[in-house]
Structure 1
Amino acid sequence: MTMVSTESQFVTFSLGDELFAVPVEVVREILDHEDAFKIPHGPDYLLGLRDVRGQGVPVIDLRLRLGMRATVKTPHTRILVMDVPMGEKVLALGLVADRVYEVVPFRREQIEAAPDIGVRWRSDYIAGVVRRDEGFVVIVDLSRLFSDAGPALAVVAPAARVA
């Protein structure tokens, strides 16, 4: 009898005092923070484009996208380069995180539904929460977070491939 894994791996990172997680399979790499090439007339959370191995990747300030204050760059600030499934397509994005911690396994039964508790960020972007000794880890639903912004971000990237 084969055992079906009820465990998933997540990359944990922080924005301020809040701890977040994204599925490890969407994370392509973790880079040191560098300022992105600014794009005129983009949404405030779109910091610009960054060259990642020859591909123009939109860099997002997740704090602004979640309605928090803008990221203040520190030596710990990192960019999580991710391939986010958006329906039929995959959107390459760089998310700015205050600090990236580790890859941790969460068992399916540990993940609770997103409580609508009137917190600082909108709960429809939360795939679930996991209780830990230090508090909660919020699992971000990336496709929901960027579904309304997806077309704008997807249009930005190809046009930026100027020699």
Structure 2
Amino acid sequence: MDIQALAQEIPVEGEYSLEGIDFITSGEQYLTFLLETEQYAVDILCVEEIRSWERPTKIPNAPSYVKGVINMRGVIVPIVDLRLKFGIGEANYDETTVVIVLKYESAEQGRTIGFVVDAVSDVLNAEENEIKNAPAFGGIIPHHYVNGLVNVGEGVVTLLNVEALQQIEAHTIG
């Protein structure tokens, strides 16, 4: 095998176009998941990893939606059940239950939190003009958690605000 001949076959940057590759998009990409029968999505760039459900170590006096913490390669990661946080039915943990670990970096700090969801669905490509504002009237999910809505087929996917999800509200013992 001639290494020089192989080197000649390597394309030079810009020499070939990547036409026909459908995973490259000018829009944003979102990881979609299920909570009960509804689809939600988060910015895929914030997804650190997707893990199967494992029972976390409980934290005394934590809010009921904080299931505990896990050790992820030396990092202590709080685990929040989104069904409980949003008041969507009962939390059931089965073989499709997963934890989506999200990392959000702001100017002040970076935070990594795992969110328990019923199942991961797909990756959604959404152009900016396809994202509609969430209606201002009430709903199950508080308005500040919602970045927008996207029509997908006959359904609607709710885009969640990762920065808002990273906030764990103050909890009083009582």
TM-score when scaled to structure 2? 0.78
Distance in 1 of aligned mates of 2:93 and 2:80 = 13
* Corresponding position of 1:22: 42
Q: Aligned pairs, how many?
A: 147
Asked if 1 retains the 8 angstrom alpha-carbon contact of 2:113 and 2:166, the reply is: no
**Secondary structure of 2:77 counterpart:** strand
> CA 1:24 to 1:136, structure 2 compared with 1: closer, same or farther past 3 Å?
same
Which residue does the alignment assign to 1:44? 64
2:151 aligned residue:
131
SS at match of 1:47: strand
Structure 1 runs of 4+ with >3 Å offset: none
Structure 2 CA distance for aligned equivalents of residues 49 and 116 of structure 1: 34
Deviations 1:99-138 (A, max 9, x none): 0012221111110011124322222210000011131100
SS of the aligned residue for 2:166 comes to helix
Q: What are the superposed Cα offsets for residues 30-60 of structure 1, whole Å, 9 maximum, x if unpaired?
A: 0000011000011111100011112110000
Letter in 1 for 2:79: V
The answer to whether the 8 Å contact 2:111/2:166 transfers is no
Question: Tell me, which stretches of 5 or more residues in structure 2 are unaligned?
Answer: 1-24
Written as runs of structure 1 = structure 2, the 5 A alignment for 1:38-117 is 38-117=58-137
Higher strand share: 1
1:128/1:139 contact within 8 Å kept: yes
Unpaired segments of 5 or more residues in structure 1? 153-163
Query: Contact 1:86–1:150 at 8 Å: present in 2 too?
Result: no
Identity %: 31
The residue aligned with 1:156 is: none
Deviation at 1:64, TM superposition (A): 1.4
| Residue of structure 1 equivalent to 2:15 | none
AA of the residue aligned to 2:104 = V
**8 Å contact kept, 1:61–1:70:** no
The structure with the largest alpha-carbon Rg is 2
